[in-house]
Structure 1
Amino acid sequence: MPVVLGPNRYGKAETRLVRVVRDGGVHHIKDVTVGSALSGDMEAVHLTGDNAAVLPTDTQKNTVYAFARKHGVAEIEDFAILLARHYVESQPTVHHARVEIEEHFWDRIPVSEDVAGERGRHSFVRSGREVRTCAVHHDRDGTTTVVSGLRDLVVLNSTDSEFSGFVEDEYTTLPPTKDRVLATAVSARWRHLPGAEAPGTAYGESYDEVRRHLLGAFAETYSLSLQQTLYAMGERVLNAREEVCEVRLAMPNKHHFLVDLTPFGLDNPNEVFHAADRPYGLIEGSVLRDDAPDARFAWE
């Protein structure tokens, strides 16, 4: 039976980078995790062990650190674009590069003006916020695709959510409810229209606004199902942000079950819940403009 080499790629995963920007006595922290994956003319290394086409993964790691010093790390999308284009344009055997970055937020610890004046502002506490993400693909034909995102954005509505009218069979025990807690940890990715990676694009502003609209739609939608809420969130982003052509969401249903307190002679008017860990429902979907260009490598 003939055997052939299928699609393949290789790279450096989870390169941890912390960059301190020293603005006099005021310091700023950029904390990111970078992953790179390269593909192209790599048949020989797989079939014969010839490494002539291979840019070592250790070199990819070193490039991240060197670029952080040379170019700084402002918006993670811009940094990912620099890296992806460099790998493709500097190596003839690399035809496609994917660079993924996660950003971990830090909050400044407030100090008194006396201390700040004497010692500066350089103390931080790890933020309880979500993780910001991006994935950039760059091809030898010059095509660049940018996908921004976030994960672990934990949200909860304590009412204005119900779930009823669903299919019931001989294995169904879940009762319909007209008033439930709706909680989830949002993972969202949104694809920028081609050309949105041009210099000067305000990825930071775009991220803040997309996040604001995701939260706004979650809070303002009377939910008949988590699927309905997912669509409302994606739709609101697309209606508000012209640079975005597709939104993909994954939203686990963090179930909150009403505790039966009747054995203790107590009522429970939707006040005391058991927050279940697992199993959980997982709702996933994409919302896109009907004229959105082909996604190509964007979601790989």
Structure 2
Amino acid sequence: MKVIFIFIDGIGTGNKNRDTNPIYAAHTQVLSNMIDNARFTADASMGVPGLPQSATGQTAIFTGINAPAVLNRHLSGQPTVTLKKLIQDINIFGQLMKMGLTVTNANVYRDEYLANMLEVKDRRNRPSVTSVMGMAENIKFRNVKDFMENNGVYHDITGDILKESGYEVDVISPEEAAQNLYRLSRQFDFTLYEHFITDYAGHKFEMDRATEVVVNLDRFLGKLVDMLDFEQEDVLIITSDHGNLEDISVRTHTMNRVPVIVKGKKAEQVEKEINSLVDIMPFVIELFRRELDGNDKEN
């Protein structure tokens, strides 16, 4: 079984008003159709008052722990010392590796950012939740050379930002990026890809830019779905940490639930329900546990 987990920052299940929701305003409708048919929606508040935020929401997704309840508040940006300790103690990479499974982070990091992050030279390059998780489990971080060799995906999908940053790279199409992610995922049991341009676009308050972001993401997801074999070995999981992009009439995050899109016949057999962000990691663990139990019985 091959599981691809795509984390998309800042998308909720808002209304379908094309004047305020770029997910439905885009001329391609892959993401909107996925949201409409999502198997689950998850509460991003997790019982803690206030607007859901990235650091606590992502920690909850990738640890299964109610991070806002631990801090007694929602926290934006990168994880603090307390959250880092939670992530280092338990995270989805580590749990899967203990089960004998192979995992990878498909994201490409800019060389200087990666160096600063790993050596803690610059507080502006503090690691995200997924980066802390990767460091805790000694996961290989991908750099610009990997992008050039089609061995990873940049967070903007196409690599435009890499080129704008001065790197001599060829910008690729969303479809080519999807092919790269697909090829990479064939080498691992669990492949993670994080796309956070969506949250930035939601905060920018600009419909044209937000719609452009959705179109690129739609093209990427559409090509990836076309390549995956959901009847046999592939499972695709897509979720988010909080709402934002679905309502650009406000600059802040939203209280909307987030979609949890699950595609693949093997995932349909998992009976666990997803009601909040803390339920996502246990769902993934159970998915693999069922697969491993089935393989043991066959042998």
Normalising by the residue count of structure 1, what TM-score does the alignment of the two structures yield? 0.26
Bigger relative contact order, structure 1 or 2, given CA contacts below 8 A and separation 6+?
A: 2
Normalising by the residue count of structure 2, what TM-score does the alignment of the two structures yield? 0.26
Q: Going by fraction, where is strand more abundant, 1 or 2?
A: 1
Q: Going by fraction, where is helix more abundant, 1 or 2?
A: 2
